[in-house]
Amino acid sequence: MKITSSLMTPSKSKSGALFIGFFSDLKFNAIAKEADSLLGKQISQRIKSKDFAGKTGEVLTLFTDSGQRVVLTGLGDEKKCDLGTLQTATTKAIKAVVTTPVKTVNNYLTSLNFKNIDEAVAGKITSIAASHAAYRYEVTKNFKKDNKHNLTSMTVYADKKSAAAIKQAASIATGVETTRALGNLPPNICNPDYLAKQAKDIAKKYDNCTLTILDEKKMQKMKMGALLAVGRGSRNESKMIVLKYTGTKKSQRPHVLVGKGITFDTGGISLKPGANMDEMKYDMCGAATVFGTFVAVAEMQLPINLIMIVPAVENMPDGDAYRPGDVVTSYSGKTIEVLNTDAEGRMILCDALTYAQEYKPQVLIDLATLTGACVVALGHVASAVMSKQTQLPQDILQAGIDIHDRAWQLPLWDDYQKQIDTTFADMQNVGGFAGGSITAGCFLSRFCEDVNWAHIDIAGTAWASKKDGATGRPVAMMAQYLINESNKSK
């Protein structure tokens, strides 16, 4: 969905629908008064008859004489209205029109005088939420197009000061959609080779982007033993995908994002239960997230240097698959005793993180659907951030607050490290039931001892359910983090 901004008022709009916001006090601002006039005072009548009360998420669709829809949208108590409220209200408004013939929308929710939300931020939040609500998956559906779900564009009511934020939001929305599209694809389509082809398309689209792909032969020569062990059981060749974006002088050290790209995870020899194994197509959502973040940055043309690294691997069981009890040597030279082949994400990430450090990053962040324990700890609301640094995790958390794509920091204390010690190698790849997300972070930390690094576990946030699929999180948080970082260098 195309997202733009303007100061066009309701009486001049030719869009198929108008979104008009109200707090629960039901006061009319200038925009609401103009919409009421267009509707022959229908808004006033519906409020008087208590058909609309302005409750959070409440919607009521009215029609002008010309057939234009006016969607009244409630945002609840003005004093309690926050980014989450605005996100919910926008989603409800989009859902009210997305299955109708409406193609274009003028969104006036941002015309309200928010007490707790900056106007530019309100525009950004409502834009991203609208795009998210309008998305639907169609790639592998073989059906005739219906005449619904035709929404193609939205114009947000915003002045010049907020226009830049709306433009950023449009880019972030494109990134989120990229991530959702990749995450939702079936594993027989979205395999390591497919991800590599998507990276090629991105590199061709933006003049300041370049691509490097390491194949298995190259990685064998480099001795990336941990990554290659995971992919040994699959007929789909493993790949290391490296996309570079140069947005400022080359001498500026890059920010590097590493995304776990397990395109399908059977668990390997430590085979997962059959129930819900289909959801393991989402185990590449870390990769999808860095793809989406990269696209958002390239769309915005941020003044920053960014490198995206995706170890793309399929974890399958066959006669050559790696086994529990194996000891493999990682790219760093450290050895790993494999106790569980289903703890494969950290195995591919450790080699990718070691490789990433050759680019001398000023910041190194990995994102992964790494542990079920993270879902137990934080549910589906917050991503988990782990780091031994002080400032970096705080910057990530703040970006999540800024854009309402929130995260929470878990400890990465040395007390947990003993759980991955072993007699037979430098470390083992699992640390037991207790603190499973943290011990996974501890494992990765052993490969990032001298770098400004953070690990983000997105197992609970990257996908919602079989019905709703990939969420596109936390692309918004990562894009906002990089926006904040680029502002520091100005």
End-to-end CA distance of the chain: 31
Residue 147 pLDDT exceeds 90: no
| 238: confidence class by pLDDT, cuts 50, 70, 90 | very high
Q: For 301-354, what is each residue's pLDDT tens digit?
A: 999 999 999 999 999 999 999 999 999 999 999 999 999 999 999 999 999 999
Residue 247 pLDDT exceeds 70: yes
Residue 57 pLDDT exceeds 60: yes
Of residues 64, 24, 22, 17, the one with CA closest to residue 40: 64
Q: Helix 119-134 and helix 83-97: axis angle, to 10°?
A: 40
Residue 145 pLDDT exceeds 80: no
Extract the tokens encoding 233: 């059981």
Pair type for strands 305-315 and 239-246: antiparallel
Residue 204 pLDDT exceeds 90: yes
Residue 465 pLDDT exceeds 90: no
Would residue 346 show up in a list of annotated catalytic residues for this protein?
A: yes
**Cα-based distances in Å from 473 to 125, 321, 342, 377:** 14, 32, 23, 18
Please give the distance of CA 365 from its chain centroid, rounded to a whole number: 14
| pLDDT attached to residue 303 | 98
| 473: confidence class by pLDDT, cuts 50, 70, 90 | very high
| pLDDT attached to residue 9 | 97
Of residues 193, 191, 348, 342, the one with CA closest to residue 277: 342
Q: For 160-176, what is each residue's pLDDT tens digit?
A: 989 999 999 999 999 99
Q: For 208-223, what is each residue's pLDDT tens digit?
A: 999 999 999 999 999 9
Q: Phi then psi for 381, rounded to 5 degrees? A: -95, -45
| pLDDT attached to residue 146 | 56
Q: Report the mean per-residue pLDDT for the chain.
A: 97
| pLDDT attached to residue 466 | 84
Catalytic residue, candidates 95, 200, 272, 446: 272
By percentage, how much of the chain surpasses pLDDT 70?
99
Residue whose entry in the numeric block shows the structure tokens 């370049």: 210
Mean pLDDT of 369-394: 97
Mean pLDDT of 140-157: 81
Helix intervals (H) in 223-282? 225-231
| 393: confidence class by pLDDT, cuts 50, 70, 90 | very high
Please state, in angstroms and rounded to a whole number, the distance separating the CA atoms of residues 249 and 254: 10
Query: Is the link from the previous residue into 361 a cis peptide, with omega within 30 of 0?
Result: no
Domain boundaries in the chain?
2-158, 177-488
Would residue 490 show up in a list of annotated catalytic residues for this protein?
A: no
Helix intervals (H) in 63-109? 83-97
| pLDDT attached to residue 478 | 99
| 150: confidence class by pLDDT, cuts 50, 70, 90 | confident
Mean pLDDT of 194-220: 98
Non-local CB neighbours of 272 within 8 Å, separated by 6+ positions:
265, 266, 280, 342
| pLDDT attached to residue 237 | 98
Please state, in angstroms and rounded to a whole number, the distance separating the CA atoms of residues 167 and 410: 33
| 490: confidence class by pLDDT, cuts 50, 70, 90 | low
CATH topology for 2-158 is: Leucine Aminopeptidase, subunit E; domain 1 (3.40.220)
CATH of domain 177-488: 3.40.630.10
| pLDDT attached to residue 40 | 97
Pair type for strands 363-368 and 209-214: unpaired
Q: Any idea what DSSP says for residue 15?
A: S
Catalytic residue, candidates 346, 388, 406, 473: 346
| 144: confidence class by pLDDT, cuts 50, 70, 90 | low
